[in-house]
Amino acid sequence: MSDQLEQPSQTEQKIFEAARHIFQRKGLEGARMQEIADNADIHKSMLHYYYRSKEALFQKVYQLSIMKVMPEIVNLLNEEVSLELKIRKFVVKYIETIQANPDIPLFILHELNKDPNRLKQFIMGQVGKKVEPFLEELRQAAKEGRIVDMPPEQILVNILSLTVFPFIGRPVIQMILGYEGKDFDRFIEERRLLLPDYVINSILK
Amino acid sequence: MSDQLEQPSQTEQKIFEAARHIFQRKGLEGARMQEIADNADIHKSMLHYYYRSKEALFQKVYQLSIMKVMPEIVNLLNEEVSLELKIRKFVVKYIETIQANPDIPLFILHELNKDPNRLKQFIMGQVGKKVEPFLEELRQAAKEGRIVDMPPEQILVNILSLTVFPFIGRPVIQMILGYEGKDFDRFIEERRLLLPDYVINSILK
DNA sequence: ATATGTTTTGACCATATGGTTGACTTATAG
DNA sequence: CTATAAGTCAACCATATGGTCAAAACATAT
């Protein structure tokens, strides 16, 4: 059954999916190996058979989670299109990315907050440098009077905030706005359509 | 030494402060009772002497954390001033509130995400109803053409996002922008001054 | 000074939890 | 069919961790 491409076995996949779900929701310490096993509907020993330890399993989930959302920031901000279109596409695409993985942002931020050094170097170099061109682009646009005069770092954080926060703040938003059932999904749907205009209008002069 | 006002003893306070710090950074499961004790520089048994259990101690920290930031939303949005001034004051004051308790938002959101029911009723009624007037105010302003035409819920979330996210996303922001030392504090300082204008300009027509 | 109540300490307990090990089962190959 | 390897299971282990308890230390009042 083993392909040349070394496909992970079905149980291995089931384990990983369950681990991803549990870890992303509850964090490293909040997750129980037994719970992951139950969730994957396999015996607990299998977790250690396929992944050495809890730490190792967590590490895989953690890394994959980061890979799912961090490079997006870089890629989308480095596309070869006009500033306006770039921002529009970023907002929409990033919302869609997170919509498909809504637990990741809070997960990463919580883990990162516990131990900021965990992947400092891992990303620091990668992402940091690649965002600079976008900042420069904003700086240039500001100099030419095409956009509002504001430090580009603030603008970038504005865009990120407006895009990412709703997912992180979901429970509070639901609470405050009295959302139930599919209400929140509709809210996000609406937002995906409105936000690009809002962001652009708030930046362009 | 016990006043009429039943002041908590000094050790009790030390415990609570340490617990607050550890719980807010690491969450319920991430925190170790021993760690809290060490941090407070007292014997572990004291934790149980003053607070029955880990759960009880956590509960106090959790509730106090919520009380520090949730009612603010309501109060600041219900002040009797013009819409513009209200929003301006909200942004500034809320940033200041969180600046004084920077760990609270992520803490609450993480715990809430693990168990959304934990305080559903506790807040649901309290905050939910009290935000409605502000939404209505936005609705009215939109109808009169004074502000941009956008669902008020989206506007409220925009304001919250722009205000709160930078604190939650701190590690990522530091990473992306290459901030070190006091850089981030300066960034927040700058933001407190810029954001009110930005928010208002993005909403008013 | 003695008694009474409060605070602190250190030794100890019970259990949850991550992890191991060896036997059993199933698949794969010769 | 047999042998070898891969996968699965159940019982068990070691330890971390929340929690208890009785005795000591300290404070306070009579």
The SS3 call for residue B139 is helix
Residue B8's closest CA among B43, B36, B38, B46?
B46
Q: Which residues of A114-134 are buried (b: 16+ CB within 10 A; e: fewer)?
A: beeeebeeebeeebbebbeeb
Residue A124 has a pLDDT of: 61
Q: What's the rounded Cα separation, in Å, for the pair A194 and A182?
A: 19
- Nucleic strand C within 7 A of Cβ A7: no
The beta-carbon neighbor of B161 closest among A73, A110, A162 is A162
Lowest pLDDT segment from B1-10, B68-77, B81-90? B1-10
Q: What's the rounded Cα separation, in Å, for the pair B89 and B163?
A: 12
Task: Write down the mean pLDDT value for chain A.
Answer: 93
Interface residue A169 vs chain B (CB under 8 A) = yes
Chain B residues 32-71 with CB within 8 Å of chain A: none
Per-residue pLDDT of B29-62, as tens digits, reads: 999 999 999 999 999 999 999 999 999 999 999 9
Residue B167's closest CA among B149, B184, B190, B143?
B184
Chain A residues 184-203 with CB within 8 Å of chain B: 187, 190-191, 194, 198, 201-202
The beta-carbon neighbor of A116 closest among B131, B171, B178 is B171
Q: Minimal Cα–Cα distance from A148 to chain B, Å? A: 9
Residue B1 has a pLDDT of: 38
Contact residues, chain B, for A123 at CB < 8 Å: 175
Residue B161's closest CA among B113, B116, B89, B95?
B95
Q: For tokens 């305080």, what's the residue?
A: B119
Residue A167's closest CA among A201, A139, A195?
A195
Per-residue pLDDT of A116-172, as tens digits, reads: 887 665 666 677 788 999 999 999 999 999 999 999 999 999 999 999 999 999 999
Global confidence as pTM: 0.94
- Nucleic strand D within 7 A of Cβ B66: no
Interface residue B120 vs chain A (CB under 8 A) = yes
